[in-house]
Chain A
């Protein structure tokens, strides 16, 4: 037990470092795809450090409260993941963060963060059912919602749940804030959103949100890794490939509308999960 706790603690402490690196690599690959050179791989850390050093500025205290609750919830959900607890529980903890992010955005009277908050809610509406379905599918294959049960499998989950993995991909795209689903906040939508949910956050508070996002990225990718839990290399390759596809999708897709998002994500997600579950039952 103590060993597991220490492992989870260390993993949680390292998660933001990993998340930052992933984000740095992401920016490099994106630049490469756009025939640019791109920033140094450590750039995300420079950004966050700089933000930490800026003078704090907020529109009201609730925003600040919400930002830090979001950060804490994201860290706790990563901790629970590496403690190998219950997938559904981790999902619910993740929701705490997401809800507080929205509340923080809605707490500011700025019209841009208001729109961002509303869109973030719609994004949640799109990915939450999918994530629950993914977790349920995993549980129905392994017989338990506990993550340890996934590691007890002798065959990678991907063999039995290939379509569910695609469904997870949809949720991942939304959670990573990648096109075509980057409708609630985005670096490129100045005219439309300014910066959506993040508009009114600046300096250290923005840094907190960025770190929280890194936690979430690590968590989401770890969930992907569960689909090849039988070997470390398998996990790494699967995650790397998945992430590359995410970047590719991000670069070739335009930002779409929320209606399109709800329709396509829920529609495709539901059909794919049902097909996969039918196939599983048939076997």
Chain B
């Protein structure tokens, strides 16, 4: 019974944390655009939190490099389960235009498991919101609620 309620809560309250891993700020601006009245992601119960300990979904923009890969890993580790990761933009997916640079590791999935990939350069806010909704579907599957 309580488990059912809790699962309902899990699907209706994805708190996101945005981590700029090495983005050109293009994708960051689009992520923040989601919070504006035009897109108003709070409709879905999404809150942008500043702390991995409160977050359910990690939004990562930009490429991963050798310096910030530790930070990315630490942030991921400090998120309590259940959790999901969304990689945003061409950079987050694969390293994008920076992938050949000497210090770049590549996409987010080189360091932590990624659940949803949102392409674009930059990704559109609609796509990002779609990504979060998709991530919830993945959580559903993980919780065994899909179907």
Q: Is B50 an interface residue (CB 8 A)?
A: yes
Binding site for A on B (CB under 8 A): 2-3, 5-10, 12-13, 15, 37, 40, 42-45, 47, 49-51, 53-54, 56, 78, 80-82
Complex Cα spacing A57 to B53, Å: 8
A191-225 contact mask (Cβ, 8 Å, vs B): 1 or 0: 10011001111110010000000000000000000
Other A-B contacts than A36-B42, A53-B7, 6 sampled, CB-CB below 8 A, are: A47-B13, A54-B80, A187-B47, A194-B50, A201-B53, A202-B54
Please give the distance in Å from A247's CB to the nearest CB on chain B. 15
Contact A39 B50 (CB under 8 A): no
Say whether B80 contacts A38, CB under 8 Å: no
Asked if B51 contacts A194 (CB within 8 A), the reply is yes
A248 proximal to B (CB < 8 A): no
B5 nearest in chain A by CB position: A49
**Contact flag A199-B53 (CB < 8 Å), given A31-B42, A38-B42, A187-B47:** yes
- The reply to whether B37 and A40 contact each other, CB–CB distance below 8 Å, is no
Taking a contact as CB atoms under 8 Å apart, the answer to whether B80 and A57 are in contact is yes
In the complex the two chains form, what is the Cα distance from A37 to B43 in whole Å?
6
Residues A202 and B8 in contact, CB atoms below 8 Å apart: no
Q: Once bound together, how far apart are the Cα atoms of A191 and B50, in whole Å? A: 8
Residues on the B chain within 8 Å of A202, using CB? 53-54, 80
Task: Determine how close the nearest CB of chain B comes to the CB of A126; give it in whole angstroms.
Answer: 25
Q: Which residues of A contact B44 (CB under 8 A)?
A: 39
The one of A27, A35, A39 that contacts B37, using a Cβ cutoff of 8 Å: A35
Whether B53 contacts A200 by the Cβ 8 Å rule is yes
Inter-subunit contact A38/B49 (CB<8 Å): no
Closest residue of chain B to A189 (Cβ to Cβ) is B50
Closest chain A residue to B54 by CB distance?
A: A202
| One of A47, A48, A54, A190 near B50 (C-beta < 8 A) | A190
Tell me, rounded to whole Å, the shortest Cβ–Cβ distance linking B69 to chain A: 22
Complex contacts, A37 vs chain B, CB 8 Å = 40, 43
Q: Once bound together, how far apart are the Cα atoms of A194 and B43, in whole Å?
A: 23
A185 to B53, CA, bound (A): 15
Chain B residues whose C-beta falls within 8 Å of the C-beta of A55 in the assembled complex: 80-82
A residues contacting the other copy or chain, number (CB 8 A): 35
**A279: interface (CB < 8 Å):** no
Chain B residues positioned under 8 Å from A46 (CB to CB): 8-9, 12-13, 45
Which of B2, B12, B43, B82 meets A54, CB within 8 Å?
B82
B residues in contact with A39, CB < 8 Å: 42-45
Whether the Cβ atoms of B13 and A50 lie closer than 8 Å is yes
Docked-complex contact B43 and A47, CB < 8 angstroms: no
Q: Could you write out 7 A-B pairs with CB less than 8 Å apart?
A: A39-B42, A39-B43, A46-B13, A52-B6, A54-B81, A57-B80, A194-B50
> B21: shortest Cβ distance to chain A, in Å?
17
Contact with B40, one of A36, A49, A206 (Cβ below 8 angstroms): A36
B40 and A31 contacting across the interface, CB-CB below 8 Å:
yes
Q: Is there an interface contact between A43 and B80, defined as CB atoms closer than 8 Å?
A: no
Question: A43, A190, A194, A201: which contacts B13 (Cβ < 8 A)?
Answer: A43
A-side contacts of B49, CB under 8 Å: 187, 190, 195
Task: Give the distance in Å from the alpha carbon of A202 to the alpha carbon of B50 in the complex.
Answer: 13
Q: Are B6 and A195 interface neighbours, CB within 8 A?
A: no
Q: Does A34 contact B (CB under 8 A)?
A: yes
